[in-house]
Amino acid sequence: MTGDIGRLAPAARAELIYRSARAGLEDRLWQIAIGRADAGVETAAEPASPRLLDLSKLVDALAADDRFAPQLTPGPVPSPTNTGPLNLGANATFAPAIEAAAARTGLAPAMLAAIVDAEAGRAADGRWDPGSRNPRSTATGLGQFLQSTWLGEARREGSWLHAVATERGWLGPSGAIRPEAQAALLALRTDPAASINAVADHAAANLARLRSAGIRTDDLASTAKAAYLAHHLGLGDAMRYLGRGLDDARAGRLLAAQVGSAAAARRIEAAASASQAHRNWLETYVARRIQPARFQTA
C-alpha cells in the first residue's frame, strides 16, 4: 500500500488524501476503481454497503481518470513553437475552430490538427467526417471520444465542454451529469467545434499532468506525440507507456483491439513479448500519423 502511494508525485499524493477524506467520496472512487461506466452520472440513491478499498486499483484509477487531473492554470499553456497559419487542404473549413481552440488553450494549431487527422474518419476526398464512429467501441466524432472520456470532460471544471454543460443546465448541483441530459451531451461529439475544443482541452490537461509526472517534451513533434499518446491510450496508460512501459497483459489487449487477435499473436511471437510488439506497432503508427509539420504553412 505504501509503495503504491509512493508512485504518485507529492502534489498528486496530497490530492488523493484530500479527496479521500471528503464526505461521501469513497463511494464514487470505488465505482471508478471497479470500472463503473456511469460513475459521475446522477442516479437514484442506492443503499450504502461497507467496502474495503484496494488502494493499488484506486491509484491507477485516479491516474487514468480525467476528473482527477490537475486543473488548467489561468492563462495559456506554453506552446513549444508558434506554428503560424494552418494548411489543412480539403479540411480548411475546420481551420477557424482549430485556431480558436489553440489560441484559448495556448497549444499549437498544427498539433491539434495532427491529432484530429489521426483520429477522425474521412471521406474519399480526404475530408474529415464529424459523424465518424468506431464500430468496435463508443468512439465518435472528430476526436473519437469514448462516451466515458467525453462525460469526464463535461464534468471537469475549466473545460469548454463543462462551460457548455453548465450553461445548458446539464449538470446537477454536485457537478454530476443529469441522466436526462446525457444523450444530448454525447450527441455533441458530432459537432465539429465541440469535438475540436474538447481535443484541445483534453490535450492541455494531459500535457500538464505528464509534465507534473516528470515527462518532458522539448519541441512540437515530441509534444504532439505525447499529447496523442494520452489521447489514444488514456492518461494512465500513456504515463505507464512513457515511463516503465505497459505490462504484457495490458499491451496484448490493446494490440489485439487495434490489429485483431490473430495479427496480434503473430506480432507478439515475432517480438518475443506483448509489450514490445505493442510498442513496435504504436511507434510506427504515431510516426506515420502524428506529423504536425504537414499542417504548417510553408
**Residues with pLDDT less than 70, the chain:** 1-84, 298
C-alpha cell read off for 227: 499529447
Distance CA 185, CA 205 (A): 20
Note whether 249 and 274 are within 8 A (CB).
Answer: yes
Q: What is the DSSP string of 25-65?
A: HHHHHHHHHTT-TTTTB-------------HHHHHHHHHH-
CATH 3.30.365.10 fits 89-295, yes or no: no
Distance CA 104, CA 216 (A): 22
SS3 content of the chain, % helix, strand, coil (to 5): 60, 5, 35
pLDDT of residue 84: 64
Note whether 114 and 224 are within 8 A (CB).
Answer: yes
Site of grid cell 485556431: 99
C-alpha cell read off for 210: 505528464
Write out pLDDT tens, residues 137-182: 899 999 999 999 999 999 999 999 999 999 999 999 888 999 999 9
Q: Evaluate if pTM is beyond 0.75.
A: no
* Total count of residues recorded for the chain: 298
Sequence-distant (6+) residues with CB within 8 A of 21 are: none
208, 185, 134, 109: CA torsion to nearest 10: -40
pLDDT of residue 135: 84
Ordered by start, the domain boundaries in the chain are 2-64, 89-295
pLDDT of residue 293: 93
Cα 63 to Cα 5, 102, 213, 214, 219: the distances in Å are: 12, 25, 10, 14, 25
Write out pLDDT tens, residues 26-64: 444 434 443 444 445 444 333 333 444 444 444 444 444
Site of grid cell 490530492: 15
